[in-house]
Amino acid sequence: MTRAGVRRRATAWMTPRWRDPGWYAFVLNRFTGLILVAYLLAHFVVLSRLTAGSEGWNDLLGLFGSRPFLVGDVLLVSAVIFHGLNGVRVILLTLGRGTRRSGLMFGVVLVASAALAALAAWGILFA
């Protein structure tokens, strides 16, 4: 817990840094990344149901088409969109591009993510 007299906690990175866009980007990236990993695991579990026969599988698909699950889809797609766009931002920064405007780039990522997520929501829920 303490090493060289410094108190470290595994959750220290969650300590809010208000008005620090870098911190928000980092936390959101971790959070959406966890969602994606959780989804991947869930996906494997679902696929394994294929072994249970077509009837059970069709029931499952029916469930996945229900309203609550479609809303879940929107959240999932939003997570993918943000994680991907912020990932592009991180790649640009790593290449030395826009390093003095990393906060502004995060703002652009947020706006673009919101726009694309809204489009996706419309497509999933209403189209």
Partner 1 sequence: MPDPTIVLRVWRQQGSDASNGRFETFEVQADPRRDSVLDVLERTWAEQDHTLVFRHACHHASCGTCTLLVDGRERLPCVTALHDVWDGRSSMTLEPLRNVPVVADLAVDPGVMLTRVAGLPLPYVRAVEADARSASGVTDDADVGTAERFEDCLECLACVSACPVASGDPDYLGPAVLAAADRAIEEPRSGDPARILDLVNTEHGIWQCRSVWSCSAVCPAGVDPAARIMSLRRRVWRGDHRSGSAP
The footprint of partner 1 (CB under 8 A) covers: 3-10, 12-13, 15-23, 25-26, 90, 93-96, 99-100, 102-103
Q: Which residue number, 46 or 104, has a Cβ lying nearer to partner 1?
A: 104
CB of 89 to partner 1, least distance (A): 9
CB of 75 to partner 1, least distance (A): 24
Residue pair 32/83 in contact by the 8 Å Cβ criterion: yes
Q: Which residue number, 10 or 127, has a Cβ lying nearer to partner 1?
A: 10
Cα→Cα distances 82→45, 72, 102, 115, Å: 25, 15, 16, 11
For residues 117 and 120, what is the distance between their CA atoms, to the nearest angstrom? 5
Q: What's the chain's length in residues?
A: 127
DSSP E strand boundaries for the chain: 2-3, 6-7
CB of 97 to partner 1, least distance (A): 10
CB of 38 to partner 1, least distance (A): 20
Q: Which residue number, 70 or 110, has a Cβ lying nearer to partner 1?
A: 110
List, in sequence order, every residue forming a beta bridge with 6; answer none if it has no partner: 3
Q: Which residue number, 95 or 127, has a Cβ lying nearer to partner 1?
A: 95
